[in-house]
Structure 1
Amino acid sequence: MTRARLLGRLRQDRGSYALETAVLAPVLIAILLLMVAFGRVTDAEGAVDAAAHAAARAASIERDAATAQSAAQAAVTRSLDGDGVTCQTSNIAIDTSGYNTDVGTAATVTATISCTANLSDIGIPGLPGAKTLTASWTSPIDTYRARQ
Structure 2
Amino acid sequence: MRRRDERGSAAIEAAIGVPAFALFVGLIIFGGRTAITHQALQSAAADGARSASLTRDAEAARAAARDAAVASIANQKIDCSGVEVTVNTTDFTKPPGVPGSIAVTVSCRLNLADLAVPGVPGARVLSETMTSPLDTWRER
Fold shared per TM-score above 0.5: yes
Give 1:105's aligned residue: 98
Which AA in structure 1 matches 2:53? S
The aligned length equals 140
Q: Choose from 28, 32, 42 the match for 2:25.
A: 32
Aligned-pair distance for 1:125?
A: 2.3
Map 1:29-108 onto structure 2 (within 5 A). 29-108=22-101
Return 5+ residue gaps in structure 2 as ranges.
Answer: none
Aligned-pair RMSD on alpha carbons?
Answer: 1.7
Aligned-pair distance for 1:43?
A: 0.9
Task: For residues 19-40 of structure 1, give each alpha carbon's deviation from its aligned partner in whole angstroms, at most 9, with x where no partner exists.
Answer: 2112211110111011111111
What is the rounded CA distance, in whole Å, between the counterparts of 1:66 and 1:86 in structure 2? 29
Aligned-pair distance for 1:87?
A: 2.2
**Residue 5 of structure 2 is aligned to residue 16 of structure 1:** no
1:58–1:71 CA contact under 8 A, matched in 2: yes
**Residue 124 of structure 2 is aligned to residue 131 of structure 1:** yes
Return 5+ residue gaps in structure 1 as ranges.
Answer: none
Structure 1 stretch displaced more, 12-21 or 52-61: 12-21
What is the rounded CA distance, in whole Å, between the counterparts of 2:139 and 2:26 in structure 1? 53
**Residue 91 of structure 2 is aligned to residue 115 of structure 1:** no
Percent of aligned positions with the same letter in both sequences?
34
Larger radius of gyration, structure 1 or 2?
A: 1
1:9 aligns to what SS in structure 2? Answer: coil
Q: Once superposed, which parts of structure 1, at least 4 consecutive aligned residues long, lie more than 3 Å away?
A: none
